[in-house]
Amino acid sequence: MTTEVRHGRGDRGSLTLEIAVLAPALLVVISLVIVAGRLQVASAAVEHAAAAAARAASLARAPGPARQAATTVARSELDDRDLHCTNLVVSVDASGFAVPVGQPAQVRARVQCTVPLAGLGPLPGLGASRTVTAQAVSVLDSYRSRTTR
């Protein structure tokens, strides 16, 4: 019976090399998942803020107070959800207040939030922030008095 002995290089150290090669790729994938999750949470919060802003605007009796109420409510909703926008723009289309009482009318609110992404991992080229936008519509009570001022 003859036994053959192999004298080659073993696999010693290959696992360390594989980990060293794969670790950066794994970190990038994990960072992308974290960024995607943060953007999804921000998107949901901005959509909710837009709906709340439209509702608050529809409860006002004039365009000026409607815009103020929408902005205040949008800021409050985003703060409640711990979303800190570096730039927040709340715009309200209050043209429905010009529609005569008794006819259907609506108010549209648009919320635009710039979400900071700094500190979320080693992703060069991702940018320091992303802008998330949402809009919502709320109907005005057809038989409630309103003014155009």
What are the tens digits of pLDDT across the range 2-38?
Answer: 666 655 566 666 788 888 888 888 888 888 888 888 8
Query: Residue 46: pLDDT band by 50, 70, 90 thresholds?
Result: very high
Residue 4 belongs to a domain: no
What is the reported pLDDT for 56? 97
The answer to whether 93 touches 107, Cβ cutoff 8 Å, is yes
The answer to whether 83 touches 114, Cβ cutoff 8 Å, is no
Residue 49 belongs to a domain: yes
Residue 41 belongs to a domain: yes
- The pairing of strands 87-93 and 129-140 is unpaired
Residue 3 belongs to a domain: no
What is the reported pLDDT for 119? 61
The region of weakest confidence among 1-10, 67-76, 110-119 is 1-10
The number of domains in the chain is 1
Instruction: Give the distance, in angstroms, between the CA of residue 136 and the centroid of all CA atoms in the same chain.
Output: 15
What is the reported pLDDT for 33? 87
Residue 5 belongs to a domain: no
Longest dimension (CA), the chain: 106
Residue 52 buriedness (CB in 10 A; 0-12 / 13-18 / 19+):
buried
What is the reported pLDDT for 38? 87
Question: In the chain, what percentage of residues exceed pLDDT 70?
Answer: 85
Residue 105 belongs to a domain: yes
What is the reported pLDDT for 95? 94
What is the reported pLDDT for 87? 95
Compute the distance between CA of residue 58 and CA of residue 137 in angstroms, rounded to an integer: 9
Which pair of structure tokens corresponds to residue 86?
A: 């570096």
Write out the residue range of the structural domain in which residue 60 sits: 19-140
Residue 50 belongs to a domain: yes
29-51 average pLDDT score: 91
What is the reported pLDDT for 106? 96
The answer to whether 94 touches 57, Cβ cutoff 8 Å, is yes
Compute the distance between CA of residue 113 and CA of residue 53 in angstroms, rounded to an integer: 14
Statement: residue 121 has pLDDT above 60: no
When the pLDDT of each residue in the chain is averaged and rounded to a whole number, the result is 87
